[in-house]
Amino acid sequence: MLQDLLAEPGWQEALKYEFKKPYIKDLYRFIKSEYEKHTIYPNWENIFLALNLCPLNKTKVVIIGQDPYHNPKQATGLAFGVPSKEPLPPSLNNIFKEVETDLNIKPEKNGNLSRWAEQGVLLLNTTLTVRQNQPTSHQNKGWEILTDTIINIISEQKSNIVFILWGKLAQSKKNLIHKSNHLILESPHPSPLSAYRGFFGNRHFSQTNSYLVQNKIKAIDWK
């Protein structure tokens, strides 16, 4: 079953009732068939990598993406991330540019973002799987119900979380977040189509760390 891929105990507990809902069975049947018949990303065992690397009780920051990269050798299970030796996709390259100008540091040109996830940055796509070369192909199959629940759980159960919403899809999740308990940062998406309309210069990385430190939470090393 789908929940068998979720190894992190805190998330297992938080989602145990969600996994009993009927839509989860339909979603599982759908994606199981897709993995059997087509090339699907990320690898089956990495569908919940974002949750497995970033326990609920250690989450400090949530960055919301859309769906996994649909080209070969890119999707890892972490929003925006790619495997270590893969070339940086344009959006991730722009993210690193903003890190550099915002914090005056040279980030590693390494797209494996597990180094962020392990510090408490939940890199959550709203849809967790995709068919090769078919972007958005797994939207509206049930993933969004689950990922909305995840966002809502963090908002309800945690305080002083930084939610980073890049682009309209991510910003549509704002109504799931208790604004009085958390910091919400919004800007255009880092894609080359929109980065120059306000992503560059948004200073989200320094704002995130300032907020965390103000609330006596260890800052993120964004290198």
Catalytic residue positions? 67
Burial of 216 (0-12, 13-18, 19+ CB in 10 A): exposed
Amino acid at 190: P
* 122-to-101, 118, 180 alpha-carbon distances in Å: 23, 9, 20
Cα 63 from Cα 57, distance rounded (Å): 16
**Is residue 139 within 8 Å of residue 113, measured between CB atoms?**
no
Sign for the pseudo-dihedral over CA of 109, 39, 147, 12: negative
Alpha helix stretches (DSSP H) within the chain = 9-14, 22-37, 49-53, 90-103, 114-117, 143-157, 168-171, 204-214
